[in-house]
Copies of this chain bind each other. A is one copy, B any other.
Amino acid sequence: MALPTDNLLALFRAVVDIESVSRDEARLADEVEATLGGLDHLEVLRDGNAVVARTNLGRPERVIIAGHLDTVPVAGNLPSQVSDGPGGVIVHGRGTADMKGGVTVMLWLARRLDAPARDVTWIFYDCEEIDVASNGLGRLVAHHPDWVAGASLAVLMEPTSALIEGGCQGTMRFDITTTGLAAHSARSWLGHNAIHDMAEVIDRVREFDCGEVEVDGLVFREGLNATMIQGGLAGNVIPDSCEVQINYRFAPDKTADEALALMTRWFDRWTLNVLDLSPAARPGLDEPAAADFVAAVGGEPRPKYGWTDVARFSSLGIPAVNFGPADSGKAHAVDEFCPVSDLDACAAALARWLAPAHRLV
């Protein structure tokens, strides 16, 4: 079966209806490879379930446009369904928001833009929705650093409602454990209550001033939250242990090391067990390629709050922005959806930037 490449809505639905939960992207990757193979203007490369297609026109500048093929698990929300919205047709189903709308726009443009003003490297990759060690973009960069080298900007087509979102917050997760002494609750004074001690940790979390931080003209809002808590042995035993998981989302004015140092100082009465730590990415909108992109798309760039692979590009020295169809607030939701008008808007904006002289058929 080949993907229907003559109609944007049909293409979108076909991409959505090929289930591609993380680690199970082979079929969709095969379709992407087949859809972009055999075109004179594209060189197609593959690494596992990641597919790369690039023009080699000798342009003075090269940009990356990237998106992941995988979704979180299906929850009875496939195959796709359509409804009428105020702005036209809306497509519902797993992956419509995160992020097969972006993948569809990429496929649509990659086939059509046969003479872009900038050379383009289109990257479709796997395993973004699971642990960071499995990330297909990370693997691809490790196996083939030359496939991404030299790009002046990366556009990651994560959902942003077709607005530019610059940079991304960093994220750090860590555990704090309080330790007590178990005793029968009828003689509680013989023990020491670890849950009671945990109240001081939570109070410390709440006292943290999550301010707003301006970076490269965008205002980022931080967050410090206890996200999971677990403690106690039984209803009649003084708990000897309580564990809380804390998530710090930090603005790109801080490096990962600075965020770690800040948390270590803030919680200096306890020991932090760091679970993960991912750097933030500066918006980088003052870079020339990004400024051109902003001008072509129009509108006012916003900060990106969620962590995305723009941080990975940023750490490679490649400025990166998020720009894609659908509302990020619907990512992973059972009722996720994407308006077709967002696909149109993203495709048109990218075409203006990449090939101002090109008339899309």
Q: Which of A183-234 contact B (CB under 8 A)?
A: 184-190, 193, 195-196, 198-199, 202-203, 205-206, 210, 221, 223, 225-234
- Cα distance A234–B227 when bound, in Å? 7
The answer to whether A247 and B239 have CB atoms under 8 Å apart is: no
**Contact partner, A202, options B187, B195, B228, B237, Cβ 8 Å:** B195
The answer to whether A229 and B227 have CB atoms under 8 Å apart is: no
Taking A199-B202, A199-B203, A206-B199 as contacts, is the C-beta distance between A245 and B225 under 8 angstroms? no
Mark A260-277 against chain B: 1 for CB-CB distance below 8 A, else 0. 000000000000000100
The answer to whether B247 and A232 have CB atoms under 8 Å apart is: no
Q: Which residues of B contact A247 (CB under 8 A)?
A: 185, 235-236
Q: Does A171 contact B (CB under 8 A)?
A: yes
- Cα distance A235–B227 when bound, in Å? 5
The answer to whether B225 and A196 have CB atoms under 8 Å apart is: yes
Q: Does A307 contact B (CB under 8 A)?
A: yes
Interface residues of chain A: helix, strand, loop or mixed (majority) = mixed
The answer to whether B239 and A185 have CB atoms under 8 Å apart is: no
- Cα distance A270–B249 when bound, in Å? 30
> Whole-angstrom distance from the CB of A328 to the nearest CB of chain B?
8
**Contact partner, A229, options B186, B195, B234, B305, Cβ 8 Å:** B195
Taking A227-B185, A232-B229 as contacts, is the C-beta distance between A244 and B195 under 8 angstroms? yes
> Whole-angstrom distance from the CB of A49 to the nearest CB of chain B?
24
Q: Does A32 contact B (CB under 8 A)?
A: no
Q: Does A306 contact B (CB under 8 A)?
A: yes
How many copies of this chain sit in the oligomeric assembly?
Answer: 2
The answer to whether B223 and A239 have CB atoms under 8 Å apart is: no
Interface residues on A, range: 35 or more
- Cα distance A185–B226 when bound, in Å? 10
Taking A189-B221, A196-B202 as contacts, is the C-beta distance between A173 and B230 under 8 angstroms? no
Q: Which of A45-94 contact B (CB under 8 A)?
A: none
The answer to whether A230 and B233 have CB atoms under 8 Å apart is: no
Q: Does A9 contact B (CB under 8 A)?
A: no
Q: Which of A265-302 contact B (CB under 8 A)?
A: 275
Q: Which residues of B contact A169 (CB under 8 A)?
A: 186
Taking A227-B238, A228-B231, A242-B229 as contacts, is the C-beta distance between A196 and B189 under 8 angstroms? no
Residue from the set A171, A190, A226, A244 with the largest chain B CB neighbour count within 10 Å: A226
The answer to whether A226 and B245 have CB atoms under 8 Å apart is: no
> Whole-angstrom distance from the CB of A101 to the nearest CB of chain B?
19
Residue from the set A186, A190, A234, A306 with the largest chain B CB neighbour count within 10 Å: A186
- Cα distance A242–B225 when bound, in Å? 14
- Cα distance A41–B237 when bound, in Å? 43
**Chain A residues at the B interface, C-beta cutoff of 8 Å:** 169, 171, 173, 184-190, 193, 195-196, 198-199, 202-203, 205-206, 210, 221, 223, 225-239, 242, 244-245, 247, 249, 275, 305-307, 329, 331
Interchain residue pairs A-B with the least CB separation, the first 7: A228-B232, A188-B223, A199-B202, A186-B306, A186-B305, A195-B226, A185-B247
14 residue pairs of the A-B complex, CB under 8 angstroms, read A171-B185, A173-B236, A184-B329, A185-B247, A195-B227, A196-B225, A199-B202, A202-B202, A227-B235, A227-B239, A228-B233, A228-B234, A229-B232, A235-B247
